[in-house]
Chain A
Amino acid sequence: MMRTLGRSVAMILFILAGCLTVNVYFPAPEVRNAAEKIVEETWGDGSPEDTDKGRTGWIDFLLPAAAYAAEPGVNIDVSSAAIRKLKAAMSERAAQLKPYLRSGGLGITNAGLLVVRELKDISLRDRAQVSRWVDAENRDRLSLYSEIARANDLGDGDVPRIQKIFAETWASKAESGWWIQSPSGDWTQR
């Protein structure tokens, strides 16, 4: 009897010892802070630093990656060279896209991407250009979410969570008159 009990206790201890403690933590508040900062920088009044410097000597080959410093007030890394390049491209494109968001031609989906809603009042040439901007913007946004995950040692599985937080941030930062898609899929005008 005692022998059986001893075996059972040993087995339980073995199983307990074999259990791994895995801390799963997704830094949602930090990602949200970063999202607000990035959205503000790219589509708001803030503007990211220019990373393109001329190269004159061997040290200059270090410059594109070096010409930035850690972002104050953000507890996750959103300052990698890749993220800065994406932010610069998105910031430059924002001024071109905003008029079409104001007119209702474009909208922001619940996935945090832009979509052409209705562009019948502009020329076909402009429609094609707007479609190209939208395509490039969405590509950069998806790359941005992946780069944030990578820069902060988050897995690919966390990219959709980052995208969701950004989607909420794009919607909350939308200007009056812009069309926003709700989580249920309905479109409303802010």
Chain B
Amino acid sequence: MAFGRCGLERALILAILVVASTVSVAPAQIRLEFPESGMKFADLAGEVGGVSWAIRELSLVGSIDVTGAGGEGSLRFEASGVSVHDADFKRAVDSVRLEGSIDFDSSTGKGAVKILVFEGEFLWDRFYADLALFPFALSGDLALDPGASPARLLRFSASEIAIAGIGQARGHGAVALDGSSVVWAGDVDVPGLDRLYGLAVSEPLGERRPRVGQTSVDGRASASIDASWSESDGYRLVGEARLRDGAVFGDGPGFQIGGLSVDLPLRLGTAALPKDRRAGSIRFDGCSVQGVDIAGTALKVGVGPNTLRIEPVVLSLLGGTATVKQFEATELVSGHPQIRMGIDVSSWDLARLARSTGLPPLAGTISGSIPQIEIGNGVMRSVGEIVAEVFGGVVRARNLRGADLRSSVPSFGFDLDFDKISLADLTRVLSFGHISGVASGDVRNLEFVSWGPVAFDAQLQSTPADGVRQILSVEAVRQLSVVGGGPSDPLSRQVLKLFDEYGYKKLGFRCSLRKDVFELDGFEVRDDRHYLVVGSTLPPRVDVVTHNRTISFSEMVSYLTWATQ
């Protein structure tokens, strides 16, 4: 019996022998013929190796010849209400309607099968498919390996699976009858990549990773694949993958890429892989990240065993460039991929960056180099700094870092240094009255969760500069007073009302945020008075004093909101 290894077939053959309407018996031969109207069976059920199956209706047409040495036959079948499930119902098909045919000859060990599935449901843990939306056809020629007794391999050739709306795969391969190995080689064509992505990625993974769920992918993918799996060595995927007319649309305006064209060698798996490195390419017409447009370009790619490298590439954005260097992703199938790269930033226009990302209006440029960024095991580390020439001075960002990148709540952080920035420019952008002068300072241990700051230590202090007056407006005094915990109208005394601005000798603060506790302190302490502003020597003199305030950060933000309205 060529294909009599599964319980279903054994049961069917037994049932056929018992109830077949036409049975011809000759010496050492039995011929079963089923009428053109079909032999009907109902409510078949059974269990094989912990897997339960049931068929509500089955109709057979054709004939089977059984001889003492084996048999041959040709059957067409239609079935409805087919269900199969494992013991805990995590993998199952249900309410499947299908039809097909099977031809076999046990003397040659060859056969052919065709199956069309029209409707039903498919479940594999979190993956679900309504087969009425994705009907599929499966066909192929089958052969048991010749010369082996008992046969150990079932070979299939000219095999094809075509899923409506998604695509098809054609190829040949073999499966070990004891289930210990599978090999397959062939071509895959997926014109409906958007539907495949929705079905296989965003739907099953969207609950766990909302950004994946809110992303859509379009285009036509194809691949030539040589794949294998075995119990002893694991899997191996070698070949070439291609994408044409590709596009990715991320969560809102967060990420978009269009005109994507990919030619990528495949070298993935846990089994032994070819050691040679193959070249590939990734091209795109344009890309947008958080509202920042990146001009299209072509990337040269090198693929080795479970590794991917990108040759240095210059990206044009924000009126300047970003040069990505030494990009390498390794251990791609380990579950803990590692990424290393470096980036040089040159002449980014801050005004364009501010406009694109919704930041307050800024002017200046950003340049710098982060020669080493490492991402792995949910952690990001970096070496180097980005320098922004902004507010008439220099702001340096360095020690870019991230943690818990694979968790629901990743965090990011960096340190900042401010060197001789113009307070006039800064207060104009922040609508914080008007303060002129030059200041320097830094922010350490700055950490963001969900794009909001959760920790930092900051300090800023004015530094005298030639030719720069140190004055602050009435509005700035008022706002500093509010932030420092003082009255909203601190300049109510008659004599002070006569002036629009006041000179100052020094200005600055220290502040920190930890566990929602915000501490604001002056830069100078005298007689238990913590000075935010020390007024000029000449009258009218205005000092702004705080009292080492420790308040909830949310309260501080509400103060700021109120003060700047």
Question: Which of A82, A135, A151 has the most chain B CB atoms inside 10 A of its CB?
Answer: A82
Q: Do B564 and A85 touch across chains, with their CB atoms under 8 A apart?
A: no
* Chain A: interface size category: 35 or more
Contacts of A173 in B (CB 8 A): none
Q: Do B449 and A82 touch across chains, with their CB atoms under 8 A apart?
A: yes
A2–B526 Cα gap in the complex (Å)?
58
Residues of A at the B interface (CB closer than 8 Å) are 51, 55, 57-59, 61-70, 77, 79-82, 85-86, 89, 116, 118-120, 123-125, 127-129, 131-133, 135-136, 139-140, 143, 146-147, 151
Q: Do A66 and B123 touch across chains, with their CB atoms under 8 A apart?
A: no
Q: Do B207 and A151 touch across chains, with their CB atoms under 8 A apart?
A: no
A65–B518 Cα gap in the complex (Å)?
12
Contacts of B359 in A (CB 8 A): 58
Known: A59-B564, A69-B552, A70-B552. A118 touches B123 (CB 8 A): no
Q: Do A89 and B207 touch across chains, with their CB atoms under 8 A apart?
A: no
Q: Do B127 and A143 touch across chains, with their CB atoms under 8 A apart?
A: no
A125–B204 Cα gap in the complex (Å)?
11
Q: Do A85 and B94 touch across chains, with their CB atoms under 8 A apart?
A: no
Q: Do A85 and B515 touch across chains, with their CB atoms under 8 A apart?
A: no
Known: A85-B449, A136-B207. A66 touches B125 (CB 8 A): no
Which applies to chain A's interface (DSSP): helix, strand, loop or mixed? helix
B15 at the interface (CB under 8 A from A): no
Residues of B at the A interface (CB closer than 8 Å) are 85, 88-90, 92, 94, 121-123, 125-128, 130, 204, 206-208, 358-360, 404, 407-409, 411, 429-430, 448-454, 515-517, 552-557, 560-561, 564
Q: Do A124 and B450 touch across chains, with their CB atoms under 8 A apart?
A: no
Contacts of A82 in B (CB 8 A): 404, 409, 411, 449-450, 454
Contacts of B204 in A (CB 8 A): 128, 132
Q: Do B564 and A69 touch across chains, with their CB atoms under 8 A apart?
A: no
Extra 8 A-B pairs, beta carbons < 8 Å, given A59-B561, A81-B452, A135-B208: A65-B449, A65-B452, A65-B454, A66-B556, A89-B408, A124-B121, A129-B207, A147-B409
Contacts of A123 in B (CB 8 A): 94, 121
Q: Give the residue of A62, A133, A136 whose beta carbon is less than 8 angstroms from that of B453.
A: A62
Q: Do B553 and A65 touch across chains, with their CB atoms under 8 A apart?
A: yes
Identify the closest chain A residue to B513 (Cβ): A65
- Chain A proximity of B247: nearest CB distance (Å): 26
Top-3 shortest CB links A-B: A65-B452, A64-B452, A128-B128
Total residue contacts A-B, CB cutoff 8 A: 133
Contacts of B429 in A (CB 8 A): 58
A86–B85 Cα gap in the complex (Å)?
34
Known: A62-B557, A79-B515, A131-B90. A143 touches B552 (CB 8 A): no
A61–B94 Cα gap in the complex (Å)?
50
- Chain B proximity of A179: nearest CB distance (Å): 14
Q: Do B408 and A86 touch across chains, with their CB atoms under 8 A apart?
A: yes
Known: A58-B360, A143-B407, A147-B409. A124 touches B94 (CB 8 A): yes
Contacts of A147 in B (CB 8 A): 409
Identify the closest chain B residue to A152 (Cβ): B515
Q: Do A63 and B407 touch across chains, with their CB atoms under 8 A apart?
A: no
Q: Do A119 and B89 touch across chains, with their CB atoms under 8 A apart?
A: yes
Q: Do B516 and A69 touch across chains, with their CB atoms under 8 A apart?
A: yes
Q: Do A135 and B450 touch across chains, with their CB atoms under 8 A apart?
A: no
Known: A61-B452, A65-B453, A85-B449. A128 touches B556 (CB 8 A): no
Q: Do A132 and B126 touch across chains, with their CB atoms under 8 A apart?
A: yes
Contacts of B408 in A (CB 8 A): 85-86, 89, 139-140, 143
A133–B204 Cα gap in the complex (Å)?
10
Identify the closest chain B residue to A79 (Cβ): B516
Contacts of B556 in A (CB 8 A): 66
Known: A81-B454, A151-B515. A146 touches B404 (CB 8 A): yes
Contacts of B128 in A (CB 8 A): 124-125, 127-129
Q: Do A67 and B404 touch across chains, with their CB atoms under 8 A apart?
A: no
Q: Do A67 and B554 touch across chains, with their CB atoms under 8 A apart?
A: yes
Contacts of A79 in B (CB 8 A): 515-516
Q: List 25 A-B contacts (CB under 8 A).
A: A58-B360, A59-B561, A59-B564, A62-B553, A64-B449, A64-B450, A67-B554, A69-B552, A69-B555, A70-B515, A70-B552, A77-B515, A79-B516, A80-B515, A81-B454, A89-B408, A116-B88, A119-B89, A123-B121, A124-B94, A128-B125, A129-B207, A135-B207, A136-B207, A151-B515
Contacts of B407 in A (CB 8 A): 139, 143, 146
- Chain A proximity of B422: nearest CB distance (Å): 17
A67–B358 Cα gap in the complex (Å)?
21
Known: A68-B516, A135-B208. A124 touches B449 (CB 8 A): no
Known: A80-B515, A132-B204. A127 touches B123 (CB 8 A): yes
Contacts of B454 in A (CB 8 A): 65, 80-82
